[in-house]
Structure 1
Amino acid sequence: MSSRRYLGSAAAVIGAAVIGTVLPVVSAHAAGATDPGTDPTAAFTATQADQEVPRLTVTDASTGTWPITSYSFDFGDGTAPVTASTTPVTHTYATGGRFTVTETVVDDHGRSATSQKSVTVVHGTLFGAPLVAKFYDGMMGSHRPFVGLLHDRGAWDFTNQRVSGPPTGQSTFGTADGDIPIAVAPAYGTQVVVGVYRSGQFILNTLPAPTTVGFGQAGDIPVPAAWDHNGHDQLAVYRPSTATFAVRHDDGSVTTACFGDPGDLPVVGDWDRVGHIQLGIFRGNGTGRTNTFALRHDDGSVSTAGYGDYGDVPLVGDWQAAGRTTFGIYRPSTGTFALSNAYIGKADDVFHIASLY
């Protein structure tokens, strides 16, 4: 990969009290003494009217002193940006998936500003937001990775099988559009619980009532894991706009690290069987090109592997209980999971969950 930022000093401070809207990155043109006013602040909304058609409608919501005269949208799928003098603007994707959409606006005084957000585009009724959770497998007598899907209306499907068929487990939790499914072991010795990440809040399906913990902000991607190696998970997020991981430790402190480029998606796991969490990113490389997983090792080196097609959603897990983490993908357009077993020299598992919802 041609350009990377590696683990280093803190690039952003993300605390439990920092909850809100992602601040846009503003690129301003200097104003002269006879040209008072403020630079524009870029913002936009993105909606999809029909889940059977992967078409996104973006509408500008920018503010500023002077009228906006140009709107440019990069829809994050490798196609050329679309420039228009008014909005809304529509764009049809080749397939469903998660994409980073970037808007650049220019006002009539030549000032510009940029805003970016990650959006999920649905294509077909098989779509769901994928999840990997390490549940106890009664048949195997051990904890093993299950894959699952969070559907609309908070319906969950899970399976520990690697062949197409109905789910082996189901649940309901989470109801808001845009909820990101998560699985967390909240305390030492406790069972893994499912939950959702919603606009800077981790919401866990605990008993007798859900537990809500604020960490991060809207637009962040949750990456909870056993960061402190103490028998349970710590909350963590990845901020795509700055390629920053932020981990909230048990004592309330926060550590941050940069890896990847803005717009990448996070993956974390034990790539080297070293007993602790290591960083990684997933980069969609454009329509017709293989995606790239980039995995960072303890010595600072980075290994890369191509897997899947553009529009796929990354997954990581120890699919064959070999003691280390590897990767896979979920393809929203067909509802297909593909889990790489190359790390143990076996054929990949390719299957789908026949949802009952």
Structure 2
Amino acid sequence: MAYDRPGAAVEIVPVSTPRELERFIRLPMRLGAGDPNYIAPLMLERREALRARSNPFFDHADVQFWLAVRNGRDVGRISAQIDHLNPQTKEGYGNFGLIAAEDDPEVFAALLAEAEAWLKARGCRAALGPVNLSTNEEVGLLVEGHDTPPMFMMGHDAPWTGARIEAQGYVKAKDLLAYQCSVADDLPESIRRRIRKGPAEGVTLRMLDMKRFGEEVRTLTGILNDAWSGNWGFTPTTEAETKQLATALKAVIDPRLTWFAEIDGEPAGFMVLLPNVNEAIADLGGRLLPFGWAKLLWRLKVKGLKTGRVPLMGVKRRFASTHRGQLLPFQLIDAVVQAARKQGYRSYELSWILEDNQAMRRICEAGGARVYKTYRLYEKALA
């Protein structure tokens, strides 16, 4: 569809071929080329994430991608999706995501209008985003924290994007926070004293067992879906999605940085710290060939990384308010951070944390963590 505005028309092209998908993936790399903090994701990973045959998210969602083209040149992109497992879908919400464009209000207007029309045609009464693609993947637009590079699997949006979205009638729905933590920081002494006493009776902490990787992934999925079930906007993750993500990350997962907690033999909590792969790929330009693989493996396995990210952490809800369960998050943090220190890590990120999740924010801040990036979800009623 072409949008006739002052100047050249903006044409919105549905992505329907592998070549168009390749253009869709590459566009943000061109837009971010002048930003010293932008890190191009690996093309291989992006292709896997955005193809229906390799991402099980497409099994339970309707998805469409578009490119904005002006004078034969790609100037923007957007997705729209309806996740049928997301409870908000029943409330009339659909999502837009993967939005990136040149700093041109006409391009943003055309992209958002196309996504909104697609959602409305499928019965949605409101649009929420950016969601890229699932609420269990990348969520929110970076609105504060452009002065530092993003961590692994985190977005780094052009600074003009928020204003352009708001100009199309979108308002803040929720902010999500990223905390920066130093491995040199200790938990408060009152908590350290309790940890030094050792786990309470019936509580066991253990590292990830790579020999039982499939079983461990199923255990993590069960804890995650229970622990996060009360969070705003949470969508249960399927075992296929967790398996696909875990398989993709298996080469970089360090069992010494992934811990489980059990209470009376039942899986009760977990924490995962992933090496910040962005630290290793910052100069690869998204390419692993011809020499990117060698550089990546050397940096991961030989040189070692200094930063990491905690994307997943949780305690089952029925344990969270008990005496033994209340200490579990701190015990898991202590176990993971001690292991990270031994491996030379300097800092890690805890993300995302809902702005009104006071319980989790208190846990983060108890160890000296500070908010250093803010991601925003926007919403708009579709009249």
What is the TM-score normalised by the length of structure 2? 0.25
Which one has the bigger helix percentage? 2
Bigger relative contact order, structure 1 or 2 (CA pairs below 8 A, ≥6 apart): 2
What is the TM-score normalised by the length of structure 1? 0.27
Which one has the bigger strand percentage? 1
